[in-house]
Structure 1
Amino acid sequence: MQELHANQGRFQSSLEDMISSLSHQAQGVVGAADPEQTDASGPPSREGPTAETRFPIHEPRGIQIERYDGNPGTCRSFLTNCLLLFELNPSCYVTERARVASVITHLTGRAREWATAEWTKQSPVCQSYADFSSALTRVFDHGTPGRKSSRALLSLRQGKTRVLDYAIEFRTLAAESRWNNHALADVFHHGLADNIKDQLAPLDLPEDLDSLVDLAVRLDNRLMERSKERSSNVVRPPAQGEHHPEVTASRGGAPVHALSVEPMQVGHTPLSPGERQRRFKEGSCFYCGQPGHILAHCPAKDRAHQ
C-alpha cells in the first residue's frame, strides 16, 4: 500500500511537470509568432532577449475545479468544468495529451486509480480528450440524463413555491431532455398550482415555453402584491381590555365621542352638561334617571317608542 501511494505521488509530480513544460512551450510558440516582439525599425540587438522576455509564462486562469472522485451524479458537471478551463486557457492546453493530463490531476479516489492505470499502460483513451472523457463517462456515469430528466419533468409540481422557483427547476431539467418546445410548455402548465391555472384559464395561452413562463411569473407576482394589499387593509381588532370610544362626525364636521352625544329622546328635553355628568357618576340612566340600567336597556324608553 505504501508503494502504491509512492507511485501515485511520483505520477502526480510527473503530470504536473509535463503540464508546466507544455505550457512553457506553447507560450514560446505564441511569443515567437507575435510581430510585436520584433522591432522592424532598427537592427536586431547583439544580445538575444532573455528567456523571460521571449517566453512569458502565464498561469492558467479561470475556474477552480473540484476534484472528481467517481461519483456518477457529478461526472458530467466535472467534465463541463474541464472544458471551460480549456476554453479560458487555450494557449496552456495546446495538445490533447496536455488536456488529458490536466483532467487526471483533478481526479481523486477510485477515479484517480482508474486513470492512473490507463495512463501508465499508455492506453489509447489517453491520446485525446474526447476519447478519455467518453471512457470516464462510460466507467463512472451509467445513467441516461435524457430519460431521467424526462421522468422528473412529468412528476414536477409547483406546489406552494413561487412560479419563478418552479420555472428555474423546470428549465434545468428541460435542458437535458429531448422534448420540443410545445411539449415543454404543456408539461409546465400541467405542473402549475391551481390558483395560477385559474388565472390563466380565460387567457389565450402562448405555445412556447418562454412566453408561458413569463406570463405565469407576472400573474404570480400580481397575486402576491394583491395579497399584501389585502392584508395591509385589515383593521386590527382592539386588544383585550382596550377601549376605543366610537367617534362620529358632528354637523360641523368635527369628530365627537359617542359618550358626549345624547340620543334623540321623544318627549324629553336634552340634559344639561351638569345633569349628564351627575348621572354618569351615579350610574343612572340618561333617559329616566333610574339606577340599575343604561340608556340602551331603559324600559321606559322602550315603552315610549312602542
Structure 2
Amino acid sequence: MATAKQVQELLTAVHNLTQELQTVKTESGVLKQRMDSQERACTELTPMSLASGKYDGSPHKFKEFMEACIIYLTFRPQTFASDHACIAFLISNLTGNALAWATPLVTSASPLLQDYSGFTAQFKETFERQEIAFVASEQLLVIHQGNVDLLSYISRFK
C-alpha cells in the first residue's frame, strides 16, 4: 500500500502534468489561430485595382505602380505579414516584361523571394533605370535652342 507521502507526490505530479497539458493546449490554440490567419491571408490575395492595370515593365508606369503597391501593402498589414507574402502580391500584379523578369526568380526559388527590400531593390534597379532613360529620351526629343545664344544653351547640359 502507498504511503501518504507517495500519494501526495503522485497528486503533485498529476497536478504538474495537468498544468503542462493546459499550457500546451493554450499554445496549440494560439498556433492554430496563426495558421488559420496565414491561410486566410493566402486565399485573400486579390489583385489590386490600378487605373493602369498590372505593371508590364513600361518605364513611364513604374513609379505609379510602386506607389500603389506600397499604399496597398501598408493598409493590409495582417494580410502581408511576411516579406514572401508582399513579394508574391507584387509578382501577381506583373505582366509582360516585368513578369518575364520575375519568372526566373520564382522558378529558381531565389532567396530574393524571402527578402522584400532586396527584391524591390533589384526590381527598381531594373525598371526605374528604364524610367529615367525614358524621361531623358523624351526630353531630348523636345529640346531646342530657341532664342538663347549657343554658349548659354550648351551650358545647360554641363
The two structures have a TM-score, normalised by structure 1, of 0.28
Structure 1 regions of 5+ residues with no counterpart? 1-25, 31-50, 156-306
Equivalent residue number for residue 49 of structure 2: 64
**Counterpart pick for 1:82 among 61, 69, 75:** 69
**Counterpart pick for 1:97 among 62, 81, 84:** 84
The alignment partner of 1:118 has SS state of: helix
**Counterpart pick for 2:95 among 73, 95, 108:** 108
1:134-175 deviation per Cα after TM superposition (whole angstroms, max 9, x unaligned)? 111211221449x96xx8xxx9xxxxxxxxxxxxxxxxxxxx
- Report 1:52-201 matches (<5 A): 57=40, 59=44, 64-65=49-50, 66-142=53-129, 143-144=131-132
Q: How many residues align?
A: 102
Higher relative contact order (CA 8 A, sep 6+): 2
Equivalent residue number for residue 28 of structure 1: 33
- Report 1:252-271 matches (<5 A): none
Structure 1 segments, 4+ long, off by >4 Å, are 54-63
The one-letter code sitting in structure 2 at the alignment partner of 1:28 is: Q
> Could you tell me how far apart the structure 2 residues matched to 1:102 and 1:55 are?
14
Equivalent residue number for residue 287 of structure 1: none
Structure 1 position 62, deviation (Å): 9.9
* Conserved 8 A contact 1:27-1:57: no
Structure 1 position 120, deviation (Å): 1.4
Q: C-alpha root-mean-square deviation of aligned residues, in Å?
A: 3.6
Equivalent residue number for residue 5 of structure 2: none
Distance 1:61 1:100, change over 3 A: closer
Query: Relative to structure 2, which stretch is displaced further, 121-130 or 74-83?
Result: 121-130
Identity of aligned residues (%): 25
1:185-211 deviation per Cα after TM superposition (whole angstroms, max 9, x unaligned)? xxxxxxxxxxxxxxxxxxxxxxxxxxx
* Conserved 8 A contact 2:56-2:98: yes
Higher helix share: 2
Structure 1 position 131, deviation (Å): 1.4
Equivalent residue number for residue 233 of structure 1: none
Equivalent residue number for residue 154 of structure 2: none
1:55-112 deviation per Cα after TM superposition (whole angstroms, max 9, x unaligned)? 9957468951321111111112111111111111111111101111111110011211
Q: Which one has a bigger Cα radius of gyration?
A: 1
The two structures have a TM-score, normalised by structure 2, of 0.52
Distance 1:87 1:61, change over 3 A: farther
